[in-house]
Amino acid sequence: MENITWHDFEKVELRVGTILEAVDFPEARKPAFKVRVDFGEYGVRWSSAQITKHYTKEQLVGRQIVGVTNFPKKQIANFMSEFLVTGFADEHGDIVLTAVEKPVPNGSKLI
């Protein structure tokens, strides 16, 4: 593991947002949803997330998640992902979302 400085960590924009919409993404190589997330003053953004094993589209709407909002856009199939959804792999490699314990304002930065 490589150590980083506090200055390096401060560069990463880990922000909380609320999922407004989740739709199927059949063009993705691995099963995924497209999610539209409200990051408050940082805008509403889309991303792709391979989270279909643990979540339904209906369970995702209204849920607060943590995303990296200062990565460059990335093309995934025919779709431009505008932030990185964060999560952890379970014992089977399926992703469990990073979330907050209690509601916080959209756009809040992890500190």
Class of domain 13-97 as given by CATH: mainly beta
And the tokens for 55?
């979540």
Read off the pLDDT of residues 45-68 as tens digits, 9 standing for 90 and up.
999 999 999 999 999 999 999 999
Which residues does 17 contact at the CB level (< 8 Å), separation at least 6? 37, 38, 39, 40, 42, 45, 64, 65, 67, 106, 107
> Which of these, 35, 41, 28, lies nearest to 82 by C-alpha position?
35
Q: Is there a contact between 67 and 81 (Cβ–Cβ < 8 Å)? A: no
Q: Is there a contact between 23 and 46 (Cβ–Cβ < 8 Å)? A: no
Domain extents in the chain: 13-97
Model pTM?
A: 0.94
Read off the pLDDT of residues 2-44 as tens digits, 9 standing for 90 and up.
999 999 999 999 999 999 999 999 999 999 999 999 999 999 9
- The pair phi, psi for residue 28, each rounded to 5°, is -70, 145
